Amino acid sequence: MVKTAVLVSGGGTNLQALIDANIFGELKNCELAAVISSNPDAYALTRAERAGIPSYVVDISIFPNRASFCDALLKKLQDLDIELVVLAGFLYVLTPAFVKEFPNRMINIHPALIPSFCGDGYYGIHVHEKALEYGVKISGATAHFVTTATDSGPIILQKAVEVEENDTPKTLQQRIMEKAEWIILPKAVSLFCEGRLEVNGRVVHIKEAENEN
């Protein structure tokens, strides 16, 4: 079982998708070992408690800078012997030193089809605002490995979602969560934990499961 920690900052809907997938046996060889929140008031902590997952708070507000916060977060992960880190609505950019401790062992979900609408400043509702401003007809979500450049890591899975005529940023955000994020994030985590992901440069190859021909 791959010891997995989920980093959160808010409501935890993507965390809930992982919890639900685990309940239904869709997370193979994965132990949801910890939920760590940067915000002591995050509802994601309640979701973790209800699911019986140990939860911790590394409160970003008490640290003088990003580096010291990331150092404390890294120490917590190391103390817990975490093998895979999943960013699920985690609102803060991690330092390069932190990221380098988990090469191809940190997965993020982004609410657009990378390389569109990604990078610095593209997070949360802002992604959908920009997509609608641009007039795209298709958006979606991307599960990718985390590297030191924001939203630039190797892509694991993507799923497209059509933009509807009367969409607002909020309606588009909700549809992308339901039809893409909550589907591909658990699948990407499971593929990693099954040992089925092979990274070659920027390309992620998905190996067949052992019971497949």
Tell me if 187 is assigned to some domain: yes
128-165 pLDDT, tens digit per residue, is 999 999 999 999 999 999 999 999 999 999 999 999 99
- Catalytic annotation, pick one of 110, 126, 128, 205: 110
Tell me if 25 is assigned to some domain: yes
What domain range is 176 assigned to?
2-206
Tell me if 211 is assigned to some domain: no
CATH of the domain at 133: 3.40.50.170
CA 107 – CA 80 distance, rounded (Å) = 18
Least confident range from 9-23, 78-92, 93-107, 199-213: namely: 199-213
Question: Tell me, what's the pLDDT at 213?
Answer: 46
Fill in the DSSP letter of residue 178.
I
Distances (CA, A) of 3 to 93, 184, 205: 22, 19, 22
126 has catalytic annotation: no
Tell me if 180 is assigned to some domain: yes
Question: Tell me, what's the pLDDT at 176?
Answer: 98
- The total domain count for the chain is 1
Question: Tell me, what's the pLDDT at 211?
Answer: 66
Tell me if 161 is assigned to some domain: yes
Tell me if 184 is assigned to some domain: yes
47-96 pLDDT, tens digit per residue, is 999 999 999 999 999 999 999 999 999 999 999 999 999 999 898 889 99
